[in-house]
């Protein structure tokens, strides 16, 4: 999830940078005509606003997904550590029980 969130953030930043540096604005005073371009494609100013909104949304959603993924990973590591501790404790108890059982078997056979 963290990787997916990072991809979304990078995509949003690239889209925002393309919006900032890849847009052009042309005004023809003789015909009173305005045009804007996004990466060489004619686009209305409303389209540029929508591109900005989408870029911002991608960054926010990407950061949110990265946060959720990091939290889940942290919980998983914490749970795995706890399970390892319990497993080691069980192994020690089992070894002690076997050692005690071997001593009792030796005493019974003597």
Domain count, the chain: 1
Tell me the per-residue pLDDT of 14-69, one tens digit each, with 9 for 90 and over.
988 888 887 777 766 676 666 777 777 777 778 888 888 999 999 999 999 999 99
Region 93-102: what's the mean pLDDT? 85
* Interatomic CA distance for residues 23 and 32, integer angstroms: 20
* Interatomic CA distance for residues 31 and 37, integer angstroms: 18
- By residue range, what is the domain housing residue 29? 2-109
* Interatomic CA distance for residues 17 and 106, integer angstroms: 79
Q: What is the DSSP letter of 22?
A: S
């Amino acid at each position: 999830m963290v990787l997916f969130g990072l991809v979304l953030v990078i995509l949003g930043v690239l889209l925002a940078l393309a919006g900032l540096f890849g847009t052009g604005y042309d005004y023809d005073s003789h015909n009173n005509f305005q045009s804007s371009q996004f990466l060489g494609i004619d686009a209305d100013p409303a389209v540029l606003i929508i591109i900005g909104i989408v870029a911002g949304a991608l960054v926010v959603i990407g950061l949110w997904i990265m946060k959720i993924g990091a939290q889940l990973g942290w919980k998983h590591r914490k749970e795995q550590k706890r399970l390892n501790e319990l497993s080691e404790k069980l192994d020690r108890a089992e070894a002690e029980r076997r050692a005690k059982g071997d001593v009792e078997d030796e005493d019974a056979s003597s």
